[in-house]
Amino acid sequence: MSKILETRKLTKVFSGVTALDNLDFDLEPGEIHALVGENGAGKSTLVKMLAGVYRPTSGTIMIQGEERAFNNPREATDYIGVVYQENELVPYFTGYENLFLGIEETANGLLKRENMKKRADALAQEFKFDLDLNSEVRELGSGKQELISILKVLYRRPPIIIFDEPTAPLSIKECAILFDLLKDLRSKGFAIIYISHHLSEVLSLADRVSVLRNGKKVVTLKNEGLDEKQLIKYMISREIEVQYPKVKAEIGETILEVKDFNHQNYGLKDINFQIRSGEIVGFAGLVGAGRTELAKSVFREYKRNGENIRIKSTEAGKRKGLAFIPENRREEGVFLDMSVKENLILPHLNALCRWGYLCDHQVTEYIGSIINRFSVKISSPAQTVRTLSGGNQQKVSIGKWMGESCDVWIFDEPTQGIDVDAKTEIYTIMGKLAQAGSALWFISSDLRELISICDRIYVMYNFAIVGEFTPPFNKEDILTKMMGGK
């Protein structure tokens, strides 16, 4: 079969750092070709070169048999559409206004709004997307926003479509719609590059899988008899059995106790739970179950000294209460336009300053320890966080709090969009925090990691805690509770 896309010895170098190294890659019409690899492996760099965001340092891109060199993303849109991991929608525009942004229909200098609305609705119906395209995007959930981002690409109908971690914000129902869409697009001859850290998705969808590591292609395999264990071995040269390390910690007295907690705005009612010293407690649930809302509410109410939330600290003079690692790292976890160095030292300025001035030697030593501890891949600490891959942004979001000594650590989806190796590092960090006597509140949509890492699991459904589980965990019972069953 003829190749619709080929890259030949494609290379990209940033300030002396090789992000992509002599990559040979090809894509066929009517194929889903998955790209997997650690954060910083080169996946995002490849996507941005194909989409015209970056120009290659060397090498060529062949599309439909001809060499192409895009000067900007607009030139690439006729050939390649990209659904990025982080949506690029205008929050105060409606769905249909975002859909037609830059390609508005006009007559005599006026927008043809009704015509655009009809075409947008027809497109959503064609692909079976249940969307209100007349609402402002900011009023929609992250899953609906992702579907609008996908529609923006489909409207142009490019022959090549790249999906970069598309399921991260989607519910189970929305994921099913997306998977049906991908199969339909494949049957119609579209060529699809699918990037995901969820290897189960890759194995269920892809025709071929290419593994990248340290900017180089390790292997391209047909998806015939492949399993997660094989892929992980190619990705990190590490067996799957050590993917979920459980650090042994002594479980002590209750540190965090939430009793009869209510929050009218979020619909939380009569919430009761506790977390003990040295314990990692998981919160399982489907998208929209109320886990993040509960965590944010408890965090805020604690800061206001809420009467029905108690922190029982054995080292009250030393410790400082709660630390919160948010799910949305780009909006709440990091300052994108500040450097890695600035992000890492911001929470610790008092400790790193003397007489109002930063202690350069102490700062260098501190940020170096965090960067090494988390294997943050950067050209230098002066690099802006915006230019990092999603996984490395998450490492900075977590790493900047590692200088704190807290009673309770709230981790909200800390491994979302993170590669396998980085996940393992984060599990180890969480285990060491528990080992040091902290209580860990761990929210995750990955049931396998909850079962592997947690000492207890609470299940939330419809903004209420509906179950509590202890080892040995019964996965079927937990899933039943997550879905509202008895």
Report, as an integer, the average pLDDT of 99-117. Answer: 87
Residue 241 has pLDDT above 60, yes or no: no
b/e map of 316-352 (b: 16 or more CB within 10 Å)?
Answer: eeebeebbbbbbebbeebbeeeebbbbbbbeebeeeb
What mean pLDDT is predicted for residues 338-351?
84
The listed range with the strongest mean pLDDT (127-136, 168-177, 233-242) is 127-136
Q: Is 109 left (phi over 0), alpha (psi -120 to 50) or beta?
A: left
81: left (phi over 0), alpha (psi -120 to 50) or beta: beta
pTM strictly above 0.75? no
pLDDT at 366: 87
Percent of the chain beyond pLDDT 70? Answer: 92
Quote the pLDDT of residue 315.
Answer: 37
**Residue 213 and residue 211: Cα distance in Å, rounded?**
7
99 compared with 485, residue with greater pLDDT: 99
* pLDDT-based confidence at residue 179 (cuts at 50, 70, 90): very high
pLDDT reading at 189 higher than 60: yes
Amino acid (one-letter) located at 80: I
Burial class (CB in 10 A: 0-12, 13-18, 19+), 132: middle
- Inter-residue contact 102 to 90 (CB < 8 Å): no
The pLDDT value given to residue 421: 74
Using 50, 70 and 90 to split pLDDT, how confident is the model at 318? very low
pLDDT reading at 266 higher than 50: yes
106 burial (CB, 10 Å; 0-12 / 13-18 / 19+) is exposed
Does residue 1 register a pLDDT over 80? no
CB neighbourhood size of 250 (10 A): 10
470 pLDDT band (50/70/90 cuts)?
very high
Q: How far apart are alpha carbons 427 and 418 in whole angstroms?
A: 12
Q: Is residue 448 predicted with pLDDT exceeding 60? A: yes
Cα 269 from Cα 240, distance rounded (Å): 40
Q: What is the pLDDT of residues 3-13, one digit of tens each?
A: 999 999 999 98
pLDDT value at 288 more than 80: no
Mutual orientation of helices 172-187 and 142-156 as an angle, nearest 10°?
Answer: 10
Q: Please give the pLDDT value at position 307.
A: 47
Region 227-255: mean pLDDT is 79
CA distances from 348 to 159, 328, 344, 363, 400 (A): 49, 22, 8, 10, 9
* Span 38-44, average pLDDT: 78
Residue 46 binned pLDDT confidence (cut-offs 50, 70, 90): very high
Q: How confident is the model at residue 51 (pLDDT cuts 50, 70, 90)?
A: very high
Taking the C-alpha atoms of residue 233 and residue 219, their distance in angstroms, rounded to an integer, is 11
Cα separation, 319 vs 305, whole angstroms: 16
For every residue of 144-176, DSSP letters joined together read HHHHHHHHHHHHH--SEEEEESTTTT--HHHHH
Angle between helices 228-236 and 420-435 (to 10 degrees): 90
pLDDT digits (tens, 9 = 90+) for 57-82: 999 999 999 999 898 888 998 899 99
* Banded model confidence at residue 309, pLDDT cuts 50, 70, 90: low
| pLDDT value at residue 310 | 58
Residue-level pLDDT at 320 = 57
Q: What is the mean pLDDT of the chain?
A: 85
- Contact between 128 and 154 (Cβ < 8 Å): no
Domains and CATH numbers, the chain: 5-242 (3.40.50.300), 254-482 (3.40.50.300)
User: pLDDT value at position 416?
Assistant: 78
Q: 5-14 and 17-27 as β-strands: parallel, antiparallel, unpaired?
A: antiparallel
For the ranges 122-131, 225-234, 419-428, 437-446, which has the lowest average pLDDT? Answer: 419-428
- Peptide linkage before 158 cis (omega within 30 of 0): no
Q: Which helix (H) or strand (E) holds 284?
A: strand 280-284
Vertex 192: Cα angle to 188 and 197 (nearest 5): 140
How would residue 237 be classed by pLDDT, with cut points 50, 70 and 90?
Answer: low
SS3 209: strand
| pLDDT for the residue 314 | 34
Q: What is the mean pLDDT of residues 247-263?
A: 90
Q: What's the pLDDT at 10?
A: 95
Q: In this structure, how many other beta carbons lie within 10 angstroms of the beta carbon of residue 24? A: 13
